[in-house]
Amino acid sequence: MSSHLFRPQPLFPASSEIVQRDYSFRLSAATAVARPWFPCHRQIQAMAATERLGSRNGEALTPNGDCDCSIPEKSAPVLTNVGKSTNVAWHECQVGKLEKQKLLKQKGCVIWITGLSGSGKSTLACGLSRELHALGYLSYVLDGDNIRHGLNKDLSFNAEDRAENIRRIGEVAKLFADAGVICIASLISPYRRDRDACRCMLPDATFIEVYLDIPLEVCESRDAKGLYKLARAGKIKGFTGVDDPYEPPLNCEILVRPIDGVCPSPVIMCKQVISYLDEKGFLEA
């Protein structure tokens, strides 16, 4: 039976005939176990040159010993237990956060917009995303209601599920920030401890809390979704601002509130946030 049937498949299709012809097996003296030899990029180039130009003195170029540019062997990953997950390992990729930020020419962060229902969170989030896009910056909006259509559709509005809702969104927002994206999270997030837990997920002051401090009576007068009306009628239980508390931030990065009784327009709110991003260096690599 032909011996080439037992050789490994080529890793580099462009030079498949060259690579397959020069595969060989080595015997490890320490383990006495045959292991396949895979050529590095320098040896591939040498074999390709031999194929194009012919052998020198009638002898083909053959691999001679381990190449000094071969990838060193990695130590075994450390297995840990995280929550209910057991025997998991963290894998680092060679393309890190800094490389992604240089590619996008911006710094990843999480803009966490919090406030009562009807305070203008979604309006600010979408307007901010539009303005950043016009300026050439990449962002993504995590809207509280939108997330409950998919990732968090299994959660209710009781205190425990609300905490889990915030935790999941915080973890997703963290991934976006790590990828160099300006992530805009827009949700009521009424409990201070849950917002602070999300802040702790992100390093280097990349969690930017934006508090829309709009009076309850103003939010209720807007009531675009009709939720306040349902809550006042007792058809919705545990509604923030009616029969469930909202805990305002103590040290938010950006505070938006009415001036002389007049709420700021979406354009003014967007400019306020973008000015902060520019001042703190998030709009450059």
- Distances from the Cα of 275 to the Cαs of 106, 238, 242, in angstroms? 14, 36, 34
Residue 218 and residue 221: Cα distance in Å, rounded?
5
Q: Residue 222: is it exposed, middle or buried by C-beta count within 10 angstroms (0-12/13-18/19+)?
A: middle
Hey, what are 71's tokens?
Answer: 């990838």
Backbone φ and ψ of 173, nearest 5°: -60, -40
Catalytic-residue membership of 189: yes
- Determine which one of 85, 189, 265, 275 is catalytic: 189
- 39 C-beta neighbours (distance < 10 Å), count: 22
Report the interhelical angle of 266-279 vs 121-135 (nearest 10°): 60
212: left (phi over 0), alpha (psi -120 to 50) or beta: beta
For residue 181, give the nearest of 275, 281, 105 by alpha carbon: 105
Structure-token pair, residue 232: 């006042």
Tell me which residues are annotated as active site.
Answer: 189
